[in-house]
Amino acid sequence: MYNNNLAYNAYAQNNIGVESPEKLIQMMYEGVLRFNMQAKRSINDGDIERRTYWINRSNAVISELINILDYNQGDISQYLAGLYQHQLHLLLEANIHNDSTKLDEVNQVMKGLLEAWRESTNVAEQL
């Protein structure tokens, strides 16, 4: 099993000047989208090793998103945990079956989460 703190550590080391935890979450969503794009390209190129590498990177980020959930925030944390777990399952299927449509499904969810996150953090900054 991979180190669940891998994603956080990678982003923290590469972005020491990150302004806030909110920005870090945004970067994690963006990272999953980038990694999945690379995984999809690897599927199209028939490169199994690279596909696995990029999907594992996405897995690490999503696992870290699960680990940092604050369950004191109510039902939203439980909902997000389930949603993230489902994304991990889709990534597993994409990797096992060499199926880029599963990556598209994950990307659709991550884009929605990223947009909602940006909107909610912009509102909080304006208050």
Give residue limits of the domains in the chain. 6-126
Q: Is it the case that residue 126 has pLDDT exceeding 70?
A: no
Average the pLDDT over each of 20-24, 101-105, 119-123 and give the range with the smallest value.
119-123
Cα–Cα dist 20/13, whole Å: 14
d(CA 116, CA 111): 9
CA distance 72 to 38: 35
Q: Which of 92, 95, 62, 93 is nearest to 80 (CA)?
A: 62
Vertex 118 angle, CA 116 and 124, to 5°: 105
CB neighbours of residue 30 within 10 Å: 14
CA atoms within 13 A on the CB side of 113: 25
Q: Where are the beta strands (DSSP E) in 1-127?
A: none
* Residues composing the chain: 127
Supply the CATH classification number for the domain 6-126. 1.20.120.340
The model's pLDDT over 39-92, given as tens digits with 9 standing for 90+, comes to 999 999 999 999 999 999 999 999 999 999 999 999 999 999 999 999 999 999
Give whole-number Cα distances, 118 to 42, 66, 80, 85, in Å.
29, 19, 16, 22
Does this model's pTM top 0.85? no
